[in-house]
Amino acid sequence: MKIGNPLLDQATSTNVDLLFEHYLKSLGLISGGVFYKNIENYIYESIYTQVGGDFNGYQVTQTVNGANAHVYGYEIAWQQQLTFLPGFLNGFGIYGNFTQIQSKFKVPGFVSERTVRLPSMRPKVGNASLSYEKYGFSGRISLNFYETFISELADVQENDLMEKGRTQLDFSASQKITKNFSLFMGINNITNAQIILDYGDGRPNDHKYYSSWANIGFKYTPIH
């Protein structure tokens, strides 16, 4: 059962960020940074068991305010066109980024107060890709991953809903045929990565399989 909450307070955030960028001579960029956020009245979706009344024993989902939340971490990124390589190899490019986040806030109003990571906040996220652009061809293979995180908070840790870490591989490409026409294709989730939701004590909740999917077609671009 899902219910609303007209008593929600607005969440506000105070942020401190320190970033740097360094441009490389051969069409590249290295960047990184650290950050800190203090979030007041953090809003999240909670799950609890109704006690008393007509719906006694029902599982209830409701959006509520938490106490102040603290978030801090770092991020790094590198992108580079390999134009210094000889011949056809200079069409290759690489890109990667990684973010690590630490977060915590106190959950009030449940069986007992506890300190947890922020819901929906992935502790580690990363992307990497290899691209090629030359002779009218453009292609990219990309790898994306994130670490296990809390999807929804419950009244006790054993009932927290956790989304398991996931890695997905995608591919896209296009080939220019004429000045106006090009052929394109894409394949998503090549490795058939599933989305897994389990409870905090390991009980299964929802396992989703989307398989791989692809698209192919022609693109027309008018030239004036």
Q: What tens digit of pLDDT does each residue of 93-128 get?
A: 999 999 999 998 887 655 567 788 888 889 999 999
pTM of the entire structure?
0.82
**Using CA atoms, how far apart are residues 141 and 212, in angstroms rounded to an integer?**
14
Tell me: the pLDDT tens digits for 47-96? 777 777 777 777 777 788 777 889 999 999 999 999 999 999 999 999 99
The predicted pLDDT at position 26 comes to 77
Q: What is the pLDDT of residue 141?
A: 98
How confident is the prediction for the chain on average, in pLDDT?
A: 89
CA distances from 207 to 60, 123, 163, 198 (A): 21, 21, 10, 8
| Residue in the block written with tokens 């591989």 | 169
Percentage of the chain surpassing pLDDT 70? 97
Kindly tell me the sign of the dihedral angle through the C-alpha atoms of 58, 63, 67, 71. positive
Q: Which two tokens stand for residue 60?
A: 């209830």
d(CA 39, CA 70): 6
Residue 45 has pLDDT above 90, yes or no: no
What is the pLDDT at residue 78? 97
Q: How confident is the model at residue 31 (pLDDT cuts 50, 70, 90)?
A: very high
pLDDT at 184: 96
The domain segmentation of the chain, as residue ranges, is 2-155
Q: Residue 149's Cα: distance from chain center in Å?
A: 10
Please tell me which residue, 156 or 212, carries the higher pLDDT value: 212
User: Given this model, what pLDDT does residue 158 score?
Assistant: 87
Check residues 13 and 43 and name the one with the higher pLDDT. Answer: 13
For residue 179, pLDDT beyond 90: no
Instruction: Give the list of residues 6+ apart from residue 221 with CB closer than 8 angstroms, or none.
Output: 180, 181, 182
* 163-177 pLDDT per residue, tens: 999 999 999 999 999
Please give the pLDDT value at position 215.
95
Indicate if the pLDDT at residue 204 is higher than 70: yes
